[in-house]
């Protein structure tokens, strides 16, 4: 962690993260009517002091037809958020996505009960 990161007010970081998460909640999986954040497709979300966002995410299946274009769509949506200077999205298949990664609200919406 850089000294600037230590001096940056936590409220600023939290506010930016909330705006990024809200942007992610506006993006829906093309095959499941739930946003990608609540669906549990976002594995890691890191934001540095310069507003650079790194996202590690997956898709519901490796054969997803949007695997080539979806990361770019996610990056563009996040880069549109005030305070974000750039966004890099890494697509991963490890660990594989399962419905258990979805939020409780998303599982209820999909009719998946524990």
Answer yes or no: is 102 within a domain.
no
Answer yes or no: is 113 within a domain.
no
Q: Which long-range contacts (CB under 8 A, 24 or more apart) does 3-11 make?
A: 4/49, 5/48, 5/49, 8/49
By residue range, what is the domain housing residue 33?
Answer: 3-96
Structure tokens at 95: 């660990």
Answer yes or no: is 44 within a domain.
yes
Answer yes or no: is 70 within a domain.
yes
- The pTM score is 0.85
Per DSSP bridges, beta strands 52-57 and 42-47 are: antiparallel
pLDDT at 4 > cutoff 80: no
* CATH number where 28 lies: 3.30.300.130
pLDDT tier for residue 10 given thresholds of 50, 70 and 90: low
Answer yes or no: is 52 within a domain.
yes
Domain tally, the chain? 1
| Residues in a beta bridge with 53 | 47, 87
- pLDDT per residue as tens digits for the range 38-92: 999 999 999 999 999 999 999 998 888 888 999 999 999 999 999 999 999 999 9
Angle ∠(53,59,62) on CA atoms, nearest 5: 130
Answer yes or no: is 101 within a domain.
no
């Amino acid at each position: 962690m850089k000294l600037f990161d230590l001096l940056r007010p936590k409220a600023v970081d939290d506010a930016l993260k909330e705006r990024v998460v809200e942007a992610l909640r506006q993006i829906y999986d093309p095959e499941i009517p739930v946003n990608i954040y609540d669906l549990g497709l976002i594995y890691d979300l890191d934001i540095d002091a310069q507003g650079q966002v790194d996202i590690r995410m997956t898709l519901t299946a490796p054969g997803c037809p949007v695997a080539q274009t979806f990361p770019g769509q996610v990056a563009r949506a996040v880069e549109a958020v005030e305070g974000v200077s750039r966004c890099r999205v890494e697509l991963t298949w490890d660990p594989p996505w399962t419905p258990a990664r979805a939020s409780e609200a998303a599982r209820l919406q999909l009719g998946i009960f524990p």
